[in-house]
A and B are shown apart, each in its own frame.
Chain A
């Protein structure tokens, strides 16, 4: 199968993000401990788990908004947790993040939102900036919306505009926080297609926080499963493989929408 071939090829890809013995805590309250996983270059890596188990917090650790209570995060061979200011800034420049609500800057138009990171880190002229911003917006299907303010467009469009901003600098790693939350099934499907397209065209590594089953089976080729009860990860690997082989009842229940545990119950 071509798909399986692709997967095995990716297994051989060099590690991109390495998480070692990560413990996440708010003050003295430990949220998750002993997280160990590797995201390889070109992976679409899913962080999954029930609501409130710390998926988004793990994402915030990965992008450096929260410092680990213990353990470390490495990007390639750079230790992100121990990096100095310049190393850190250089790494941040290669990240693209799509926040849950889009997090567009509300006082700026869409074009200005996309152009801001470009203007910060390149020497483009204002005309060129605008041109590239328009291109990025066109890539996410928002051609012609350059001069709209975030409050003037719908939630799904805000999310896509957020994506345009996230890919403004052609990032090496893209982070998505619940990309399909608040989107209708068709928009969320289109977003999935867009994510696959971005991986193919940018060659980026993609980390997605989601609990949308349809989406995580479609796009994910590696994952980590966080469990709120035991406060650690209880599974990792390709979600499709996990669905077939995992013996952990919590993981099975999650991946089958609770049907694995009570198969005897009729669903007519």
Chain B
């Protein structure tokens, strides 16, 4: 039982029980009963009520009660519940009027039957069925999305799509120039890492100069597109999902639909087109920065002269690798934009749903990018490119 403090510093009990001769129990409430004021424990009252022989009546006395708030009310409501459970009468005439009124208010409306959440055990087969239904619905939704997107794209090709050029420009600016900083940093570092990894092995054969080949081909063929895609899915894919998700929550998407304007043309097209246009350029830039990063390592740490590093790089690079990288980047860009928009349009009706949509957009687009990368690897290997 935690004591309250007297002004003179002596510890004092918050609850003092007094057994009266007529088998009733008088509870003296003392000191402060306030939340956060070293709350007095009330277990002593609960014990006294459950003890045998049980008191017939419960009364209160509050002449020495200091400040009180919900702490006291909650104690009283719990005590009354106990009294009712044990069939003990309670008399609250000894309490301050404000306390009595609040307790009455708390007890005015009886507990609604069935309002408490009941933990129901769902049978195994029902759960399997529900999950299957959910997956089927998700697949149907995805196909509907692919269909709507295709329709919008065909409208775009025919030149009858409705969207605002301003939106397209805004998105191009966001996906292109806006991403240059982060692409520079990441690509340069990837170039540095590739060069270091290669150098450790190649130095053993005295073939450090081939670091240039390794970095050049690696960036052009694989890493440039891949790193750009990873950056853009975290940066732009998530942004698309969050923007569209918010527009869904605020009913802006509904407003378009009821006006007979297709959200797929108006919202999705500018985003997909912007990213598909910008990502090859970013990829090209990423290739260049990666090579610069490799050269930095080659020149400063492996003792290769800048000219020979450059000559070796030019010798290693081929148009095939460059074009292959750019094609990959374009495909990745389309996948990222589509995943972002899909998750945005699927967003629920709350602010936490917008966060979920952004998260799912990033996960989906990274999975799609890696799968596409695998497909490219198999296909190029098969075709001997």
Contacts and interface: CB of A to CB of B under 8 A. Distances in A.
B260 A99 contact: no
Contacts of B260: 89, 92-93, 120-121
A84 to B, nearest CB: 14
Interface size class of B (residues with CB under 8 A): 10 to 19
Given A107-B167, A107-B170, A117 B251 contact: no
Given A107-B167, A107-B170, A120-B162, A99 B259 contact: no
A99 B261 CA distance: 16
A100 B143 CA distance: 31
B162 A95 contact: no
B162 A99 contact: no
Contacts of B251: 99-101, 103
Interface in A170-219: none
A103 B252 contact: yes
B258 A105 contact: no
A60 B162 CA distance: 24
Is chain B's interface secondary structure helix, strand, loop, or mixed overall?
Answer: helix
B255 interface: yes
Contacts of B252: 103-106
Nearest to A168: B259
Given A107-B167, A107-B170, A101 B258 contact: no
Interface string A33-72: 0000000000000000000000000001001110000000
Contact of A120 (B250, B254, B259): B259
Contact of B259 (A92, A100, A101, A104): A92
Nearest to A120: B261
B109 to A, nearest CB: 13
Nearest to B167: A107
A97 interface: yes
Nearest to A162: B255
A120 B167 CA distance: 16
Contact of A97 (B162, B167, B250, B258): B258
Interface string A99-123: 1110111110000000011001100
Interface centre among A93, A104, A107 (most CB of B within 10 A): A107
A92 B167 contact: no
Nearest to B249: A101
A85 B304 CA distance: 68
A150 to B, nearest CB: 9
A95 to B, nearest CB: 6
Contacts of A120: 162, 259-261
A106 B259 CA distance: 16
A99 B257 CA distance: 12
B261 A97 contact: no
A167 to B, nearest CB: 12
A65 B258 contact: yes
Nearest to A89: B260
Contacts of A107: 167, 170
Contacts of A103: 250-252, 254-255
Nearest to A60: B254
Contacts of A104: 252, 255
B161 to A, nearest CB: 12
Interface string A117-142: 10011000000000000000000000
Contacts of B250: 101, 103, 106
A92 B255 contact: no
Contacts of A95: 258
A210 B162 CA distance: 34
Contact of B255 (A60, A64, A99, A121): A99
A105 B255 contact: yes
Interface string B180-217: 00000000000000000000000000000000000000
- Residue with the highest number of chain A CB atoms closer than 10 Å, among B247, B254, B256, B259: B259
A152 to B, nearest CB: 16
B162 A65 contact: no
A106 B247 CA distance: 8
A60 B349 CA distance: 14
10 contacts: A60-B254, A63-B258, A64-B257, A92-B258, A93-B260, A95-B258, A105-B252, A106-B250, A120-B259, A165-B255
Interface of A: 60, 63-65, 89, 92-93, 95, 97, 99-101, 103-107, 116-117, 120-121, 165
Q: Which 3 A-B pairs have the closest CB atoms?
A: A103-B251, A99-B251, A92-B260
